[in-house]
């Protein structure tokens, strides 16, 4: 709710009570804006670098996509 009040509108549905961390990361050409939720926090407890947690997230998404494609 706080982020929405300040003009941050997620591209997915997020409950207004969800706790998140707003991050601005360097993209190839422009900044990327991300919300990190509980799982992102858990990953960052192991290694506090945001880039590490983002790499783990992106790897998990690539694995999920590959598994979905191999099931078709």
pLDDT tens series, the chain, 72 aa: 788 788 888 898 988 888 888 999 998 999 999 999 998 899 888 898 998 999 999 999 999 999 999 887
Please tell me whether the overall predicted TM-score, pTM, comes out greater than 0.85 for this model.
no
Q: Report how far residue 34's alpha carbon sits from residue 27's, in angstroms, rounded to the nearest whole number.
A: 11
Q: What are phi and psi of 25, to 5 degrees?
A: -115, 155
Q: What is the pLDDT of residue 16?
A: 80
Burial of 53 (0-12, 13-18, 19+ CB in 10 A): buried
Q: Report how far residue 49's alpha carbon sits from residue 55's, in angstroms, rounded to the nearest whole number.
A: 10
Q: What is the pLDDT of residue 3?
A: 81
Q: What is the pLDDT of residue 61?
A: 94
Q: What is the pLDDT of residue 14?
A: 87
């Amino acid at each position: 709710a706080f982020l929405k009040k300040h003009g941050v509108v997620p591209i997915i549905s997020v409950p207004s009570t969800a706790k998140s961390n707003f991050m601005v990361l360097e993209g190839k050409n422009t900044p990327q804006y991300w919300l990190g939720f509980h799982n992102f926090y858990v990953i960052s407890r192991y290694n506090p670098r945001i880039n590490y947690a983002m790499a783990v997230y992106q790897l998990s998404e690539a694995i999920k996509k590959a598994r979905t494609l191999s099931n078709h």
